[in-house]
Amino acid sequence: MQTLFPKGEPRSPEFFTGSTFLTEVLDADHNNEFSIGSVTFEKGARTNWHTHPKGQVLIVTSGKSWYRHKRFKPAM
């Protein structure tokens, strides 16, 4: 399988359950208030429910993803 970004570094269990890895693509700095990262989830891994005050964009390239907008119920 080809991937756009490498697998990345292991993540701490603070926001994740199971094995996850992060490749930092763009850090927030004086030019922008956001960051971009590519997260790889091993089979059975997931993100713990959490919020992003300025929003978040998710691009799922394989598998299934649950998400929730503050005004709606969780959806797949």
pLDDT of residue 28 exceeding 70 = yes
Whether residue 3 is predicted with pLDDT greater than 80 in this model: the reply is no
Interior CA angle at 20 toward 18 and 22, to 5°? 160
What pLDDT is recorded for position 1? 62
- How would you label 33-48 residue by residue, b for 16+ Cβ within 10 Å and e otherwise? eeeeebbbbeeebebe
* Number of domains the chain contains: 1
The CA distances from residue 53 to 7, 21, 33, 56, 64, in Å, are 26, 22, 12, 9, 24
Q: Which domain holds residue 50?
A: 1-75
pLDDT at 55 over 80: no
Distance CA 68, CA 51 (A): 10
pTM listed for this prediction: 0.74
Return mean pLDDT, the chain: 85
